[in-house]
Amino acid sequence: MLNLAQWHRNAWLNRLQSALLMAFMMALLALLGLLVWGEEGLSMLLLLAVVLLLLSPVVSPWLVLRLYRARPLHPAEVPALYDMLAEIARRAELPAVPTLCYVPSDLVNAFTVGGKRDAVIGVTDGLLRNLQWREIAGVLAHEISHIKNGDLRVMGLADLMSRLTRFLSLFGQLLLLFNLPLLWADQVQVNWWAVALLIFAPHIILLAQLGLSRTREFHADLNAALLTGDPEGLASALAKIEVGSRGLMDILFPGMNLPEPSWLRTHPPTVERIRRLLELRQQPARPVWQQVWEPGRPVWVRQATRGPRYHWSGLWY
């Protein structure tokens, strides 16, 4: 059983932080539009945002998964795993049970693509072989929480605002460059605070975007604990994923490849995520993984044939 008082407190803080970060990004974008185009710039900026949203290509989840050489897992191959997934999806009130895809990689990882009705969760061979049932349940619940919360859509909107900010910043700096002769002739006055904002706005909104990503990860952890009733399972999985993702340099020099300060990371520090999850412990209960686990059914029977590789998108798989 969860500490519901602590859960509601953390959930409220996560929602508040997400709302404040989104409001800040929108306000910064509106201010840049006002500086570059004046009052008419706000309506033009809104129109541009709508056009970009409509013209953004809708990428099929299967196209993304093909890049990672993933293949669908049929329920007959992993019946117990699909039973667990279906129960978590039912608790999350999703309109459809996500499809599982197998990624032939030793890396301990999972990710999700698609929307609520066409979601696909990719799980690596390393994850299926190295995690216990309760840990796999926690990871699947975390990914389903991202689907339920619409995090892909939220982060897509944040990315759109970030790209618009970079465009406005570049456009404003080009205008300033073209007006340099007038500046030297003292025929125009420049608000240097506005110039500084134009220069640093892309960096500021990027930090806000990173903060939003971290907050959504915390919230997905929180909802996963509620869906499974077992916060320790996800905490244990996160610890194993952290160890499994380390290379030789990380072992020799811990934390070497992690951005510092910590708020420059897209994901929160694993230690902080585990601490927040363990705060939710209260009374032992029968979690979801115990309700659907069936002895004697292996999760997977095939060994990955290659180690982790670097993908052009910046992800290891």
pLDDT at 173: 81
In a domain, residue 310? The reply is: no
Averaged over 295-308, what is the pLDDT? 45
In a domain, residue 255? The reply is: yes
In a domain, residue 314? The reply is: no
In a domain, residue 47? The reply is: yes
Lowest mean pLDDT among 5-9, 89-93, 104-108: 5-9
- Three-state SS letters, the chain: CECHHHHHHHHHHHHHHHHHHHHHHHHHHHHHHHHHHCHHHHHHHHHHHHHHHHHCCCCCHHHHHHHCCCEECCCCCCHHHHHHHHHHHHHCCCCCCCEEEEECCCCCCEEEECCCCCCEEEEEHHHHHHCCHHHHHHHHHHHHHHHHHCHHHHHHHHHHHHHHHHHHHHHHHHHHHHCHHHHHCCCCCCCHHHHHHHHHHHHHHHHHHHHHHHHHHHHHHHHHHHHHCCHHHHHHHHHHHHHHCCCHHHHHCCCCCCCCCHHHCCCCCHHHHHHHHHCCECCCCCCHHHHHCCCCCCCCCCCCCCCCCECCCCCEC
143 is catalytic: yes
**pTM of the full predicted structure?**
0.77
In a domain, residue 77? The reply is: yes
Which of these is catalytic: 143, 217, 260, 272?
A: 143
Per residue in 138-150, pLDDT (tens digit) is 999 999 999 999 8
In a domain, residue 188? The reply is: yes
In a domain, residue 168? The reply is: yes
Per residue in 202-239, pLDDT (tens digit) is 899 988 988 898 999 999 999 999 999 889 999 999 99
Domains: count for the chain:
1
Domain range for 175: 4-292
In a domain, residue 230? The reply is: yes
